[in-house]
Amino acid sequence: MPRLTRRTALALPIGLLAACAGREGVTAAPSAAGPLLEIAPAAATAAGGFSQGGLALGRVPPGSRVTLDGRPVRVGPDGRFAIGFGRDADADARLAVTAPDGRSEIRALAVLKREWQVQRINGLPQAMVSPDARQLARINRERARIAEIRKLDSDMPHFAEGFIWPAQGRISGVFGSQRILNGEPRTPHFGLDIAAPTGTPVKAMGGGRVVLADDLYFTGNTVMVDHGRGVVSLYAHLSRMDVQSDEAVARGQVLGAIGATGRATGPHLHLGLHWLATPLDPQPLLPAA
Ligand SMILES: [Zn+2]
């Protein structure tokens, strides 16, 4: 299959993108006579298309097979699915659908490139920047546990129901920043930081099920909520946790409170959002302030 070059994908007319990305498109079920594939960004972007760090929602006839760049995407019993584009996603993605009646379609999606900030953070305890062997063993155990959680692909419908701000406060860190900790380049910042006083309530950005509520090395008191179809939110550095693993939560339910546990220079919420193992930018999915 010929691969679109970056240049070609960027040159796709915006009008064509808009036609693929009608925001009402995902509400009606495709019928035999209707479109095979409906796919739209979960959040309106400046250019109206798909973008790096973005979540997209789709719908196909139930029982269809869907792949994104050749990798299978699980489709819910209602035909709904989610896909996400990483921070460094290529400019072109290829979504392929085969319906139970044999119809098939391949859709080229143009993924807009974003500019990422550089964030320098100094004054962190050196043990947090360069952990020793014993700490590394703990960190690796926790990473493996989270990697397992990121394989969850449940049938809960909440990923498509919209999200709310989990806390009120000042945005003190954005998604995708290249981080330089105590002068050393580190992995990018895969979350949104909201600074507010310790004790400020932290709410679930969407409904779902708590899949982790524990004290972790880097993220301190951490709650993760599964919203379905691989979409999982993460709330870090909490001063307290009000929920337990396996608990069902409603959108807006208090999960705990803002704190500075784990690797944090001051009280803030680190909000993470993933589609399976792919980190996404939560901010475009939240209502305009
Ligand atoms: Zn953060």
Q: What CATH code is carried by the domain that includes residue 226?
A: 2.70.70.10
* Domain contains 45: yes
Contact 225, 271 (CB under 8 A): no
Selection from 272, 284, 238, 281 nearest residue 258 by Cα: 238
Could you say which DSSP state residue 287 is in?
P
Please check whether residues 221 and 250 belong to one and the same domain. yes
Q: Give DSSP secondary structure letters for 176-227.
A: TPEEEETTEEE----SEEEE--TT-EEE-SS-EEEEEEEEETTTEEEEEEEE
Between 117 and 27, where is the model more confident? 117
6: CA distance to ligand 1 center in Å? 31
Please check whether residues 139 and 254 belong to one and the same domain. yes
Q: What would the pLDDT profile of 77-86 be if each residue is shown by its tens digit?
A: 999 999 999 9
Counting every residue, how long is the chain?
289
Structure tokens at 40: 């739209």
Please check whether residues 143 and 91 belong to one and the same domain. no
Contact 81, 97 (CB under 8 A): no
Please check whether residues 74 and 169 belong to one and the same domain. no
62: CA distance to ligand 1 center in Å? 38
Please check whether residues 103 and 215 belong to one and the same domain. no
Selection from 190, 230, 139, 210 nearest residue 202 by Cα: 210
Q: How confident is the model at residue 32 (pLDDT cuts 50, 70, 90)?
A: low
177: CA distance to ligand 1 center in Å? 10
Q: What is the pTM of this model?
A: 0.85
* Domain contains 86: yes
Contact 227, 207 (CB under 8 A): yes
235: CA distance to ligand 1 center in Å? 10
Please check whether residues 96 and 165 belong to one and the same domain. no
Q: What would the pLDDT profile of 207-227 be if each residue is shown by its tens digit?
A: 999 999 999 999 999 999 999
Percentage of residues of the chain with pLDDT beyond 90: 74
Between 282 and 33, where is the model more confident? 282
190: CA distance to ligand 1 center in Å? 7
237: CA distance to ligand 1 center in Å? 9
pLDDT reported for residue 61: 96
* Domain contains 180: yes
Collect residues with CB below 5 Å from ion ligand 1: 173, 191, 193, 270
CATH number (domain holding residue 93): 2.60.40
* Domain contains 78: yes
The CA distance from 92 to 89, in Å, is 8
CA angle 198–200–205, rounded 5-degree value: 130
Q: Is the pLDDT of residue 51 over 50?
A: yes
Please check whether residues 133 and 264 belong to one and the same domain. yes
Q: What would the pLDDT profile of 183-212 be if each residue is shown by its tens digit?
A: 888 889 999 999 999 999 999 999 999 999
Q: Is the pLDDT of residue 13 over 60?
A: no
The domain tally of the chain equals 2
236: CA distance to ligand 1 center in Å? 8
Structural domain for 126, as ranges? 118-285
pLDDT reported for residue 18: 34
33: CA distance to ligand 1 center in Å? 46
270: CA distance to ligand 1 center in Å? 4
254: CA distance to ligand 1 center in Å? 20
Q: Is the pLDDT of residue 252 over 80?
A: yes
* Domain contains 1: no
Please check whether residues 195 and 265 belong to one and the same domain. yes
Strands (DSSP E) contained in 69-191 are 71-73, 80-84, 92-98, 104-112, 118-121, 170-173, 178-181, 184-186
The CA distance from 3 to 169, in Å, is 44
